[in-house]
Amino acid sequence: MDKIFKTLNSINNFSKKLIFFASAFVVSSCVIGITLIMYNQTFLNQVELYSIGSTLIQKSIVVFAHAVIAALIMDWFKNSFQNDD
């Protein structure tokens, strides 16, 4: 566990900020999607609104995965070019 925490703490600040804002985006998008689904089940019961809510949740998780992967790749490139000098 210590090795994992040391590795995560060694990530540069830009990558940490990217992961932080991506996680905030995912949480807010999932809350909006869940709210749409709950509103749909409580009041409207329409297939379209349920589909929009579930798609919003799915796509926000995909965006979060892309942001984390991009942040880790950018950090890896930065560290690999700094170590070669």
For residue range 11-34, list pLDDT tens digits in order. 888 888 999 999 999 999 999 999
- Confidence (pTM): 0.78
Domain ranges of the chain: 2-84
**Are the beta carbons of 74 and 82 closer than 8 angstroms?**
no
Compute the distance between CA of residue 47 and CA of residue 37 in angstroms, rounded to an integer.
10
Please report the pLDDT score of residue 80 as a whole number. 80
Q: Which two tokens stand for residue 37?
A: 């689904």
